[in-house]
């Protein structure tokens, strides 16, 4: 492994060179810090951007044009460009680049490459080429002024369009299969498989945002939580498309999967493919179906869509994302007719909504059911006319809004991402509850759980009543959460540990990943009702759950309720998926009894079918 020179020695980012073969290397750009606020970076374990470079060896009789596969985005430009220049043979002018997906961040780096290397060929899919041509000369709005400074943008390089699966060779030693892999989020997706090495360069598939020098993961369990989080945030709303692509990949003679983010997967790649299909299995047909329609110019509206979709998905409702720019009118109409609720989002470009969104809005007005809820959202730079258009047209059309229109200037920040997730949770939970009410009415109000002896017996298992509190970060960047917890049990003596069951739809669940701290406030019998009432009431998305409370802090800055009987500070060590809950195992770091005379409040239930 080689550490390559940086342009800015003060930057926390760096690039390492990992050899794959004599003239085949991986250039891994690393950032130990969270580089963006998008939901998939929420575990805050840094990130990597994995690129791959082939060039003619000194012993080669041929002199092929160097081939760069999956370059990173502009985020890594300051360290990647000098590292690439130092690695390429001196005097390199020509460069072929395989681009796995297109977004404004990647366009910016490609433009920088085009300035340095005058003879570039970009190998790209047809939808990717359309996006590249749309974005190449577009200037991203500045946060400080409506018109960004003039930029010297080079001409669009030569484009080699990949319309279907295609093979290319490099010096007769490497044979690449280029496989278009379109999804709603990345319509220009392109996966690359090198047959001799058995190396699948999967770009956005199978990724995980964590910063590591190691070429591959130690074990599948060491990165499972990170890959599952990445899947839930980005892939779950496109499960049918993702599963179709994974099925094709299973036909390949894979030895190693090298995603665009995170370490490679060597020994456990087949189980990871199986995990993707298992995680993406369709929910029961009886669950509500939400259709999410959007377009995104700079990725900001897509980031909002991801957060909303993640929240809806966690409630058990099905959600399907459609990028309106790459969805046929017939598919759009069919999905709207099948949906139980609608989400539609748009950026504002030049004071207008993009044409695909205007067309999708017309289809929704024509085919949508006015009795089903709708939610609208969007980002903007210096105006927000597109969101206003959606609101006015749908309001005039008689649609019922599931939440207030979401209008975000530029990109959502850390706190807003959490609020968006909570909005999605509330939206999905409302659909689920309405469905349950309709089912009860259809059965005459009788539920089988009241008569099932096993469920009634399960209800006799009691638990202590606690308020779980979480705080991450400080100041304006801090995030907090809380929930009433009673499914708690001591789990170990050495180390001192306990388990807590947390429903997937709980807003606080996203703050309870490995190495996250929390406080467990054990409530006192006879003095617990006020706290219970406060934390059992529904909170609006983004609402401060601790307003006007006199709080103290544990050694690791977790929130303690002084009126509690006792408190424990824990650190999440493991998570296990248990149906509709996550089982959290945590090691206890600190604790204290606040009322030595008090007794623990306990929760008695008549049935094990609910809390």
Alpha-carbon distance 172 to 174, whole Å?
6
CA angle centred on 159, ends 137 and 52, rounded to 5°: 100
State pLDDT tens for residues 273-328: 999 999 988 666 678 999 999 999 889 999 999 999 999 999 999 999 999 999 99
Radius of gyration of the chain (CA): 26
- Band of pLDDT at residue 78, cut at 50, 70 and 90: very high
Report the pLDDT value the prediction gives residue 242, as an integer from 0 to 100: 95
* Close Cβ partners of 439 (under 8 Å, ≥ 6 residues apart): none
Beta strand 497-503 pairing with 67-69: unpaired
- Band of pLDDT at residue 444, cut at 50, 70 and 90: low
pLDDT of 329 above 80: yes
Q: 453-603: which CATH number, 3.90.1150.10, 3.30.70.20, 3.80.30.20, 2.30.110.10?
A: 2.30.110.10
- Band of pLDDT at residue 383, cut at 50, 70 and 90: confident
Secondary structure of the chain: what % helix, strand, coil (to 5)? 30, 30, 40
State pLDDT tens for residues 194-226: 999 999 999 999 999 999 999 999 998 899 999
pLDDT of 148 above 70: no
Summary mean pLDDT of the chain: 92
Report the pLDDT value the prediction gives residue 5, as an integer from 0 to 100: 56
State pLDDT tens for residues 237-257: 999 999 999 999 999 999 999
Phi–psi pair at 565, nearest 5 degrees: -70, -40
pLDDT of 416 above 70: yes
- Band of pLDDT at residue 63, cut at 50, 70 and 90: low
Report the pLDDT value the prediction gives residue 61, as an integer from 0 to 100: 54
Alpha-carbon distance 161 to 98, whole Å?
10
- For the chain, the structural domain boundaries read 2-279, 289-431, 453-603
**Around Cβ 434, how many Cβ atoms within 10 Å?**
14
The answer regarding whether domain 2-279 maps to CATH 3.30.1330.40 reads no
Question: Per-residue DSSP letters for 266-280?
Answer: -TTHHHHHHHHHHHT
Report the pLDDT value the prediction gives residue 424, as an integer from 0 to 100: 97
Q: How far is CA 603 from the centre of its chain?
A: 36
pLDDT of 390 above 70: yes
State pLDDT tens for residues 109-147: 999 999 999 899 999 999 999 999 999 998 766 655 555
- State the CATH architecture for 289-431: 3-Layer(aba) Sandwich (3.40)
Alpha-carbon distance 367 to 397, whole Å?
11
Phi–psi pair at 301, nearest 5 degrees: -65, -35
Percent of the chain with pLDDT over 90: 82
pLDDT of 555 above 90: yes
Q: Find out whether 275 and 217 touch, Cβ atoms under 8 Å.
A: no
Report the pLDDT value the prediction gives residue 611, as an integer from 0 to 100: 87
Report the pLDDT value the prediction gives residue 9, as an integer from 0 to 100: 46
Range of weakest confidence among 138-152, 158-172, 288-302, 531-545: 138-152
Name the residue among 76, 81, 160 with its Cα closest to residue 114.
81
For residues 447-464, give the mean pLDDT.
84
Q: Which residues pair with 101 in a beta bridge?
A: none
**Around Cβ 466, how many Cβ atoms within 10 Å?**
29
Question: And the tokens for 521?
Answer: 């406030």
């Amino acid at each position: 492994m080689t550490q390559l020179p940086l342009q800015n020695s003060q930057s926390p980012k760096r690039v390492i060179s990992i050899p794959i073969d004599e003239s085949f290397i991986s250039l891994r750009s690393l950032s130990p810090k969270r580089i963006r606020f998008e939901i998939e970076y929420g575990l805050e374990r840094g990130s990597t951007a994995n690129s791959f470079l082939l060039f003619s060896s000194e012993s080669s009789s041929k002199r092929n044009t160097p081939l760069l596969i999956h370059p990173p985005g502009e985020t890594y430009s300051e360290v990647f460009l000098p590292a690439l220049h130092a690695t390429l043979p001196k005097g390199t002018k020509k460069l072929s680049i395989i681009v796995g997906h297109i977004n404004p961040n990647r366009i910016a780096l490609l433009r920088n490459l085009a300035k340095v290397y005058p003879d570039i060929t970009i190998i790209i899919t047809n939808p990717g080429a359309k996006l590249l041509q749309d974005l190449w000369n577009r200037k991203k709005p500045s946060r400080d002024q409506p018109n960004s400074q003039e930029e010297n943008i080079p001409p669009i390089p030569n484009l080699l369009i990949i319309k279907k699966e295609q093979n290319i060779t490099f010096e007769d030693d490497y044979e690449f299969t280029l496989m278009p892999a379109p999804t709603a989020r990345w319509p220009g997706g392109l996966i690359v498989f090198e047959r001799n090495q058995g190396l699948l360069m999967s770009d956005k598939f199978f990724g995980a945002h964590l910063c590591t020098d190691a070429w591959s993961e130690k074990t599948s369990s060491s990165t499972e939580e990170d890959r599952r989080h990445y899947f839930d945030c980005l892939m779950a709303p496109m499960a049918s498309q993702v599963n179709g692509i994974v099925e094709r990949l299973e036909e390949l003679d894979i030895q190693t999967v090298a995603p665009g983010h995170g370490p490679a997967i060597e020994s456990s790649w087949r189980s990871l493919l199986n995990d993707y299909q298992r995680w993406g299995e369709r929910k029961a047909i009886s669950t509500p179906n939400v259709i999410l329609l959007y377009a995104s110019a700079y990725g900001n509206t897509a980031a909002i869509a991801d957060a909303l979709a993640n929240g809806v998905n966690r409630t058990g409702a099905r959600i399907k994302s459609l990028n309106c720019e790459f969805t046929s009118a017939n598919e759009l109409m069919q999905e709207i007719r099948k949906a139980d609720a609608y989400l539609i989002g748009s950026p504002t470009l030049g004071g207008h909504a993009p044409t695909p969104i205007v067309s999708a809005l017309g289809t929704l007005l024509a085919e949508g059911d006015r009795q089903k809820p709708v939610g609208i959202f969007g980002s903007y730079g210096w105006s927000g006319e597109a969101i206003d258009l959606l609101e006015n047209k749908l309001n005039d059309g008689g649609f019922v809004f599931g939440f207030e229109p979401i209008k975000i200037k530029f990109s959502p920040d850390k706190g807003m991402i959490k609020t968006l997730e909570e909005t999605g949770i509330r939206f999905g939970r409302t659909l689920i509850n309405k469905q349950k009410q309709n089912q009860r009415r259809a059965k005459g109000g009788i539920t089988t759980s009241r008569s099932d002896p096993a469920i009634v017996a399960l209800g006799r298992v009691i638990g202590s009543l606690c308020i779980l509190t979480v705080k991450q970060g400080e100041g304006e960047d801090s995030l907090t959460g809380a929930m009433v917890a009673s499914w708690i049990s001591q789990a170990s003596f050495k180390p001192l540990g306990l388990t807590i069951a947390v429903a997937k739809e709980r807003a606080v669940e996203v703050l309870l990943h490995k190495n996250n701290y929390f406080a467990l406030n054990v409530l006192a019998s006879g003095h617990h009702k006020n706290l219970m009432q406060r934390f059992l009431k529904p909170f609006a998305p983004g609402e401060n759950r601790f307003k006007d409370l006199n709080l103290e802090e544990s050694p690791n800055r977790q929130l303690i309720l002084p009126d509690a009987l006792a408190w424990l500070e824990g650190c999440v060590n493991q998570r296990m998926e248990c149906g509709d809950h996550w089982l959290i195992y945590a090691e206890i770091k600190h604790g204290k009894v606040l009322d030595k005379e008090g007794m623990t409040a306990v929760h008695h239930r008549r049935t094990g079918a609910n809390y």
